[in-house]
Structure 1
Amino acid sequence: MTVLEKSTIIGKESLLLLLSILGFLLYSLSLCVIYFEEKSITRENFFLIFVDCLAFFYYSAYLIVMALFFNENYNKTSGTFSLIISLLVFFVLEISGFNSVDYLLQHLVHMAVASLVLGNLLALWCYVRSLSLPLNEINPKTIGKDTIYCYLMGREVRPRLFGYLDLKMYVNRVCVVSAVLLDCAFLYREFVRNWTLQSYVVNKSFIIIEIMHIIFCLDGVVTEYTFEYSLETQKEGFGYICSVGYFIYPFLITTVPYHFLLTKTELATWKIPIIVFLFIVGFLLYRIANNQKYNFKVNVLKPGVKFIPTEIKNGKLLCSGLWGFVRHPNYLGDIMMYISFTGLTITAPAIMPLMEIPFLIHRSIRDNKLCKEKYGYAWEKYTEKVKYIFIPRIY
């Protein structure tokens, strides 16, 4: 075993990180318990629920065989194909009398807890496995750091199960496909189960929020292939934060639309055009910016694209299109969409999407620091040309 760190078990940076994670988990679970309908859980049905959770995540990413097949080539159709198969399996079970939608919605908290267990087990396995890796396969950001920091952030960037299955890409697929399945379950409950009621009135606010939300999640599935070129995939480690975050994400991100469904909340008329505008503009910024970045990555020499060369091999700084106005147009689009998901309401579930805003701001600050260290003078030239981070002439 290669010993890389000569440090304490936990340092100040790791302690703050650990406390923030614990606070986030406590808030998340309490939010789920308050706003999700539940059936009682006993010792007899706990194992069954856990197995069902495994099955849910299993077919959410389609079959393991297909995941292995697409492992080395996440092309432009594999994520969509997995989603189609998952939806077919899910709703064939429903119409066959297995009541898969009801079961899922009645055990959301139980599955969220089971997903935390799965995420922790996977993170622990990755950490233990990484202890025997050579230095050149270790995440450089964890070298010299304490044990807790390494466990949280991940000592390996792209761990592979059995040496083949890319866990980061696979668990990302689990995350986004599961979120779409939950959204579809909500819509199914709203339309199919209630349309026969004579007194039933369509919840227009829920429908609008849900449509925006499902477009956002579907985009993550359809454009899965672009995730391969993201900073998170190529540079960030796969540890506790990444593993647990992916598994719990589908349950947390859907708390707002499910809250609208349960409480039958109707938004004030003046709020509807505002949130729709925020979402449309945010989505266009997010998707166009990411497409421009992806196309630049795969074809740096494309005519008409402006960039600043660096001394790093294959390292060029894009300053064309939306990236010529601000440094993170995709983050700005993300923030606008997350604000729209709140419905401009002041409720406990609305806090969840708003928590993404400080995260993205902090990430932009961290990206700036990392790029300055990596590119040096080239980054200074880039920041002179692209001065603003999110909004031109403001920030």
Structure 2
Amino acid sequence: MSKKVEADKRNPKKFQYEFFGPIGAAIIVVLTTTVVFGLYFGCNENGCPAHPQKILSMIQNAKFIDVYSFQLYLCWLGALILAWHFLPGEWVKGVPIDEKGTRLQYKMNGFATISLVLGIASGFIYMKGPECMELIWSRFLPLMTSAYVVSILISFYCYISSFIGQKHLAEGGNSGNLLYDWFIGRLLNPRIGNFDIKVFSELRPGLILWIVFDIAFACRQYVMLNGRITDSMVLVLVFHSWYVLDSFVCESAVLTTMDVTTDGFGYMLCFGDLVWVPFTYGLQARYLSYYPVDLGVGFTTAIIFLQLLGYYIFRGSNSQKNEFRNNPTDPSVKNLKYIQTKRGTRLLIDGWWGKSRHMNYFGDWLMAWAWCLPVGFGSAIPYFYVAYFAVLLLHRYGRDDHKCREKYGDDWKKYCQVVKYRIIPYIY
């Protein structure tokens, strides 16, 4: 068989457009850009929502980017890459990416990286005082613009490099339309040597920066309140940090997600990882730095309970799925019921995954509520995350369901008859 035929077999051209094709991709690029910058100008010290005249005045006088902030962001990325290279970590094999069973290796040292970053930040605050974090909170907008520019540049690099040499392409990003393929991601595993750009971006720059911003805004509140931090800010900081640290403790679980196994790395994922996550997920901490809220014991206890419940469902279901895929003989999963598919794979219909097809989504959404409720009810804007996340999870479910119907055929229909609920047991 010729090399060309082998390449065509490995990188099939047949696909279906998602997001309504190139037009939908263009709309999403404009919409997401508008939202991420709109949240900054629409919710700040001038009001949440700010008056339209103040928004217009802010935009006219805003310094969207400067050389120092751009250099600062590049140093941030460079430091994380150096940490990936030098810090110790286990090399883990990912799932097979082709019919030959090729499995790429990934270095898992994210927890060491975030521990180093938080250690340095804590030491800096201890020696210089909370005021030192003004370097971060005062440059929120130019840092966001810098991350936005970098995400676009990386997206183009990955798109262009997908045409150089023999690469594994994402089926959904090999349409031949430049805009769509750049948006959705043509290259499945963009790499420089053993350095995987997609997996690195998935967890490192955005998630860690999210917590750094949270800490910076907590310091801002501390300064503004003359040495006090509200219970609401503590909850937000603890919940967000918990979520991110847990992601790094279970870092290898990302290798079985749709983002890594199926989706190409284009603007959609790159923008989401580098810009959307750190600059929108911390909206509650930014809001509380301007508008402090004291919750009291009762409300605080209720929110903590909701967070614990969501985490219990989220982590329990994800861990069970990951263990079943990677080590099905483990005592914790070996007795779980499943459907043996014609493809040779197995679909869980027991444990967490017998209650709904995406119990992890349900737990994740409950935690989203726990992150938003601490801001109180003075503004609806800080609840953007829980609304957006509901839409995101529903869309992810739809994409996953479509792919599984094509992949498993009648076996998926049988699975859906056994596991009837999509996300929320007995409701949806």
Question: TM-score if structure 2 supplies the norm length?
Answer: 0.80
What SS does the aligned partner of 1:63 have?
helix
**1:194: Cα distance to partner?**
6.5
RMSD: 3.1
89-98 or 109-118, larger mean C-alpha shift:
89-98
**1:122 maps to which residue?**
154
Rounded to whole Å, the distance in 2 between the matches of 1:187 and 1:11 is: 37
**1:294: Cα distance to partner?**
1.0
Q: Read off the aligned partner of 1:22 and give its amino acid letter.
A: V
**2:410 maps to which residue?**
377
Q: 2:168 aligns with which of 131, 137, 149?
A: 137
Asked if 1 retains the 8 angstrom alpha-carbon contact of 2:84 and 2:113, the reply is: no
Higher relative contact order (CA 8 A, sep 6+): 1
Rounded to whole Å, the distance in 2 between the matches of 1:50 and 1:241 is: 22
Provide structure 1 residue ranges, at least 5 long, that are not aligned to the other structure.
Answer: none
Please tell me whether residue 158 in structure 1 is matched to residue 158 in structure 2.
Answer: no
Structural mapping, 1:195-206, within 5 Å: 197=226, 202-206=229-233
Asked if 1 retains the 8 angstrom alpha-carbon contact of 2:231 and 2:300, the reply is: no
**1:20: Cα distance to partner?**
2.8
**1:12: Cα distance to partner?**
5.1
Rounded to whole Å, the distance in 1 between the matches of 2:125 and 2:233 is: 22
Rounded to whole Å, the distance in 2 between the matches of 1:363 and 1:216 is: 20
What SS does the aligned partner of 2:347 have?
strand
Cα-to-partner distance string for 1:151-188 (whole Å, 9 max, x where unaligned): 11101111102x33101111122222222222233344
**1:224: Cα distance to partner?**
1.5
Report % sequence identity: 22
Asked if 1 retains the 8 angstrom alpha-carbon contact of 2:40 and 2:141, the reply is: yes
Q: Read off the aligned partner of 2:424 and give its amino acid letter.
A: I
Rounded to whole Å, the distance in 2 between the matches of 1:25 and 1:353 is: 19
What SS does the aligned partner of 2:396 have?
helix
Rounded to whole Å, the distance in 1 between the matches of 2:427 and 2:263 is: 29
**1:22: Cα distance to partner?**
1.3
Cα-to-partner distance string for 1:14-41 (whole Å, 9 max, x where unaligned): 2123213311221211212344579x87
What SS does the aligned partner of 1:392 have?
coil
Distance change in 2, residues 1:306/1:159 (3 Å) = same
Structural mapping, 1:337-356, within 5 Å: 337-343=367-373, 345=377, 346-356=379-389
**1:220 maps to which residue?**
247
Q: 2:110 aligns with which of 79, 84, 91?
A: 79
Question: TM-score if structure 1 supplies the norm length?
Answer: 0.86
What SS does the aligned partner of 1:355 have?
helix
**1:167 maps to which residue?**
197
Distance change in 2, residues 1:138/1:104 (3 Å) = same
Asked if 1 retains the 8 angstrom alpha-carbon contact of 2:25 and 2:179, the reply is: no
**1:103: Cα distance to partner?**
0.2
Q: 2:312 aligns with which of 268, 281, 284?
A: 284
Q: 1:312 aligns with which of 343, 360, 369?
A: 343
Distance change in 2, residues 1:247/1:68 (3 Å) = farther
What SS does the aligned partner of 2:66 have?
helix
Q: 2:264 aligns with which of 237, 240, 245?
A: 237
Distance change in 2, residues 1:170/1:97 (3 Å) = same
Q: 2:363 aligns with which of 313, 333, 340?
A: 333
**1:13 maps to which residue?**
21
Q: Read off the aligned partner of 2:37 and give its amino acid letter.
A: L
Provide structure 2 residue ranges, at least 5 long, that are not aligned to the other structure.
Answer: 46-57, 92-104
What SS does the aligned partner of 1:388 have?
coil
**1:103 maps to which residue?**
135
Q: Give the count of matched residue pairs.
A: 382
Asked if 2 retains the 8 angstrom alpha-carbon contact of 1:31 and 1:349, the reply is: no
Q: Read off the aligned partner of 1:57 and give its amino acid letter.
A: L
Q: Read off the aligned partner of 2:304 and give its amino acid letter.
A: V
